[in-house]
Structure 1
Amino acid sequence: MTRLLGGEALAGLRQRLRRRYEQGLAVGDTGTLRLSGLNETEHAALAALLGRPARQRSSVQIELAAVDRALDAAGIAPTLRVALELLDGPITDRAAQRERIQEGWQGVARSCDAPLRGWIEQPHGLGLVKRLSRQDTDVATILCRAAAAVLQRLPAQGIPRAQLAAQALGDAHALDDGRPVAALVIAVLRQRAGEAKVVVSDADDTATERRRDTWAGAGVLVNELARPALCLNLPGAAPAGQPAYLSLRSLVRTPVAWPVRARDIHVCENPNLLAIAADSLGARCAPLVCTEGMPGAAQRTLLRQLAEVGARLHYHGDFDWPGLAIANHVLRAFGARPWRFTAADYLACLPAATRPGSVLTGDRVTACWDSTLTATMEQHRVAIPEEAVADTLLPDLVPRA
C-alpha cells in the first residue's frame, strides 16, 4: 500500500482523494471519481493501482468499485477509503458532520420554551447564541435554559437585577454586564420591544445606559439610585414650585398614573434652565422635565411613561452639536416636538449670543426635525447654550388662561 500510494510525492493525490470522501462520498459508494491536472508520478500511481498502461492523460476517471476490488484482491485494503485512512488517518465526512452540527443546534432550539424557541430559530438569534456559547451546543443549551428562567419572571415590578439573578439562577452576578446569560436576555428583551440592533459586548457609557434602560423597561433595576430624573411642577411628582428628583427605583417600582393626557410637557437639556424657571415662575411654571444632557435610564423611563399616557412633549436644548444629537434622540424615541429649536429660532438668538468661548466646535450633527438648522449653525459657527435663551423660553412656561 505504501509503495502504491504512500510517500511525499503522492501526498497531494491522496489529499484530493480524501477530500472527495470528506465532501460526502459515503462509505460503500460505488460511483466514479474524475481527476484532472495529474503529474507524471500521480498518473503512474493510478495506472498501477488500476492495472492500466501508464499513459499521460488530461484526466483520469476512476471506478471506485474496481479500485476497491483491486485493493482487496491484492490484500492491501478492503477499500480505497480504508487505504487512505491507514496512510493518513481517519477521514471526516464533512457533510455528515455539518448535518450533525445542524441537528445539534436544532436540538438547542427544541430544548427551549415556545417564545424563546421562536427567537433562537431566527438567523440573528441563533448567531448570537453560537457566539455566546463559542459554538458549543451543550453550553448553548445551558445558556438558553438560564435565559428562559429569567424571562419567565419578566416583566417584574422593580426588582433589583442582582435579586432577579439570585432567584432565577442562584448567582447574584449571573446577569451582570458582560455575562453571556445577561447578553442573551437583553437581546430578547430588545427584540420584544421592537429594537432592531442587538449589541453584545459594547462597554462605553452610552451602551451601559442603553442596557440599563432595557432592564428598566422590563421592570428590572440596575443602579436604581444613579442619576434621577429632575422635574418641576409635574403633576403627581412633588409640591408645586419646587424642583423634584425621581429615581429610577421609584419610577419602576411605584409608577405614577401621570394625569397629563393631551397636556403640554416641556423638556429641557440643562438643569440650570429648570432652576431659572423655578426661581422666576415657581408654582406658576408649566410642567418641565430636564434630561441633564443625554437622558439616562431614569430620564428615559419618565419620558416614556409620559409619552405612553398621551402627553405632548416639547424639547429644547443647546444650539451646539451635542445638543442636536440629544434632541435627535428625544424627538425620535419619545415623539417629542421641537420647542423653539429651529433655524429661525437660532438666527433670532444670534445677536445677543456672541460671547468669548461660544465658537461652535466638534463634528457636525444633522437635525432630524429641521433640514436647515445644521447648515445655518455651520454658517455662523456660534454655539448658544440653553441658559442664554431663558428669556425667550420662560414665556412659554406660563400657562395660558
Structure 2
Amino acid sequence: MNDADARLVRLLGGAALAGLRTRLRTRYGRGRSAGVVTLADLNAAERDALAGLLGRRPSDAGSMRFDIAELDALLRNAGLATSLRHALELLDGPVIDLAAARAEAARQWDAVRRMTSDPGLRAFLTDGRGLGLLKRLAVRLPAAEQLVGRVQAVLAQLPAAAVTRSQLAAQLLGDAHALDPGSPVATMVLAVLRHGRSGEEGGEGEETVRELWAAAGVMVNELARPVLFLNLPASADGIVPRGEPAYLSLRALMRSPPVWKVASRDVFVCENPNLVAIAADALGCDCAPLVCTDGMPAAAQRALLSQLATAGARLRYHGDFDWPGIAIANIVTGMFGAAPWRFFAGDYCAALERNAGATRPLIGNAVDAGWDGALAQMMQAHRRAIDEEALATDLLGDLDTRR
C-alpha cells in the first residue's frame, strides 16, 4: 500500500465507515454521480470523516450537505484519488451500475423464458407471477435453466396414459421422488397445469393436486377416495352391478375406463353416501343412475363426472342446503355442466315448510349459488340448513324409474 492509499484508508476506510461508503456507492450505482448530496442520520464517526475530507469543522448535526464535485476536487488535490467514486472503488472494489445489472439480469431471465419449447410453460413464464415463481425456486440462472429443462421433460409426456407419479418421475428424472409435493419440478409443473386450465393460480390442497395430476393422466394415491355410484349403465357386462352401490377407484377409471351408456340420459348426482344407500334400499334396480360426490369431489369423483359428461349424460345435482353444499354445487355445475336438481330458492323454501323439525342452524360464511342468485339470500334470511337425507322422499320420487 502506498502513502496515498494509507491516508485514504485512515480517512474513509475501516468497518466503522462501511455504512457511509455503502450509501455513497449506492448513489453511484443508481447513476447519480454529480450534484449536491444531503446525507441524514449520520453517526459521530461518519460526521467526523466527512468533515475531515471536506476540510470543515466537526459538528454535532445529524446530517451533512456537500457538492460531489467539491469533494472530487479535494480528493484529487490531496493525491488520494481522482474522484469520490475512485476513492470508493479503491477501498471496496468497482461500483456496480445497478440499472445496467438489472437490465442484464432481465435479459438473461427473458432468454430462459424464450428457450422454452413447451407452449404452456412459455405462456406461464410470460406471466410475471410465473417468472417470479421460477426465480424463487431456482434463485440463480444456471439452476433455472436446469429446472426449466426438467419441467419441459415432464410436460412433454402429458397427458400420460394412466401412469403413477413416482413412475413418471423415475423414468424421466431418474428419481422416483422428484415429483413429490413441494419439489421444484412438481411445483412448476402443477403451476403450469393450473395456469392452462384457469389462467390463475389456484389452491394447493391435497385433493386439488391429485385432481390436477389426474386430469393430466398421472395417478397419485389412485386407490384413495374411490367414487360411489348406483346403476350406472356401461357397455361391459359385470363392471357395474345393478341394484347395489359400487365403487370405482381413480386407478380403474384411468387405466380401464368403462364405456358409459348414458348419452342423452339423466344421471343424478348427490352429495351424501347415505342417500345412495337409501336409494338402493328403496328402489334397487329401479333407481335411476346415481353418483355421489361424497362431499367436495376428489380426483376419482371428478374423473367419473368428466367421463359421464363427455359420454353425453345430462347431469343433475343435489346437495345439502348449507354453505359447503352450495360450494360443492358450484364446482359440479361449473366444471361438469350439471343442472340443479331440486336445488333452487323455491325448493329450499318448500323444504323448510315440509321439514321444519329436521333442520339445523346455518353457520359459516355465505356462498352465492352460481345458478340462482336468490338461493343464498333466502338461506341467509331463514338461517336454517337442511341435510340432503331429510329430503330423501322427494328425491326418491325423481329417482324411481317406474314412474
TM-score bucket of the superposed structures, by smaller chain:
0.7 to 0.9
Whether the aligned pair in 2 keeps the contact of 1:267 and 1:316 (CA below 8 Å) is yes
Whether the aligned pair in 1 keeps the contact of 2:207 and 2:299 (CA below 8 Å) is yes
Alignment match, 2:213: 215
Which amino acid in the other structure matches residue 26 of structure 2? R
Alignment match, 2:331: 329
Which amino acid in the other structure matches residue 134 of structure 2? V
Pairing partner for 1:132 from 129, 137, 148: 137
Alignment match, 1:355: 357
> CA, structure 1 residues 127+152, in 2 after alignment: closer, same or farther (shift >3 Å)?
same
Query: How far apart are residue 337 of structure 1 and its match?
Result: 1.3
Indicate yes or no: 2:108 matched with 1:104.
yes
Whether the aligned pair in 1 keeps the contact of 2:118 and 2:152 (CA below 8 Å) is no
- For residues 152-205 of structure 1, what are the alpha-carbon distances to aligned partners after superposition, in whole Å with 9 as ceiling and x for unaligned? 111111101110011111111111111111110001112222352245xx4xxx
Query: How far apart are residue 10 of structure 1 and its match?
Result: 8.8
Alignment match, 1:183: 187
Normalised by the size of structure 2, how large is the TM-score? 0.82
Q: Which runs of 5+ in 2 are unaligned?
A: 1-6, 57-63
Alignment match, 2:224: 226
Alignment match, 1:264: 266
Whether the aligned pair in 2 keeps the contact of 1:232 and 1:289 (CA below 8 Å) is yes
> CA, structure 1 residues 262+196, in 2 after alignment: closer, same or farther (shift >3 Å)?
farther
Alignment match, 1:281: 283
Whether the aligned pair in 1 keeps the contact of 2:8 and 2:87 (CA below 8 Å) is no
> CA, structure 1 residues 367+18, in 2 after alignment: closer, same or farther (shift >3 Å)?
same
Q: Distance in 1 between matches of 2:10 and 2:382?
A: 84
- For residues 227-248 of structure 1, what are the alpha-carbon distances to aligned partners after superposition, in whole Å with 9 as ceiling and x for unaligned? 1111111121513322221110
Pairing partner for 2:233 from 225, 232, 235: 235
Indicate yes or no: 2:287 matched with 1:294.
no
Whether the aligned pair in 2 keeps the contact of 1:219 and 1:253 (CA below 8 Å) is no
Normalised by the size of structure 1, how large is the TM-score? 0.82
Judge which range, 162-171 or 317-326, deviates more: 317-326
> CA, structure 1 residues 59+155, in 2 after alignment: closer, same or farther (shift >3 Å)?
same
Alignment match, 2:159: 155
Indicate yes or no: 2:128 matched with 1:123.
yes
> CA, structure 1 residues 163+241, in 2 after alignment: closer, same or farther (shift >3 Å)?
same
Which amino acid in the other structure matches residue 320 of structure 1? D
Judge which range, 31-40 or 76-85, deviates more: 31-40
- SS of structure 1 residue aligned to 2:228: strand
Whether the aligned pair in 2 keeps the contact of 1:354 and 1:382 (CA below 8 Å) is no
- SS of structure 1 residue aligned to 2:257: coil
> CA, structure 1 residues 32+385, in 2 after alignment: closer, same or farther (shift >3 Å)?
closer
Alignment match, 1:145: 149
Structure 1 segment 390-401 matched on structure 2, within 5 A: 390-399=392-401
Judge which range, 367-376 or 316-325, deviates more: 367-376
Alignment match, 2:12: 6
Whether the aligned pair in 2 keeps the contact of 1:5 and 1:14 (CA below 8 Å) is no
Q: CA RMSD in A?
A: 3.2
Alignment match, 1:53: none
Query: How far apart are residue 252 of structure 1 and its match?
Result: 1.3
Whether the aligned pair in 2 keeps the contact of 1:238 and 1:244 (CA below 8 Å) is yes
Alignment match, 1:55: none
Judge which range, 350-359 or 219-228, deviates more: 350-359
Whether the aligned pair in 2 keeps the contact of 1:105 and 1:137 (CA below 8 Å) is yes
- For residues 268-290 of structure 1, what are the alpha-carbon distances to aligned partners after superposition, in whole Å with 9 as ceiling and x for unaligned? 11112112222222222211111
Query: How far apart are residue 384 of structure 1 and its match?
Result: 1.9
- For residues 202-234 of structure 1, what are the alpha-carbon distances to aligned partners after superposition, in whole Å with 9 as ceiling and x for unaligned? 4xxxx1100100000000000001111111111
> CA, structure 1 residues 380+19, in 2 after alignment: closer, same or farther (shift >3 Å)?
closer
Structure 1 segment 170-209 matched on structure 2, within 5 A: 170-199=174-203, 202=204, 207-209=205-207
Whether the aligned pair in 2 keeps the contact of 1:160 and 1:221 (CA below 8 Å) is yes
Which amino acid in the other structure matches residue 220 of structure 2? V
Alignment match, 2:255: 253
Judge which range, 178-187 or 330-339, deviates more: 330-339
Aligned residues: 379
> CA, structure 1 residues 399+130, in 2 after alignment: closer, same or farther (shift >3 Å)?
same
Which amino acid in the other structure matches residue 283 of structure 2? L
Alignment match, 1:380: 382
Q: Distance in 2 between matches of 1:195 and 1:304?
A: 20
- For residues 61-97 of structure 1, what are the alpha-carbon distances to aligned partners after superposition, in whole Å with 9 as ceiling and x for unaligned? 5559x947x7557542344322122345543321232
Alignment match, 2:28: 21
- SS of structure 2 residue aligned to 1:383: strand
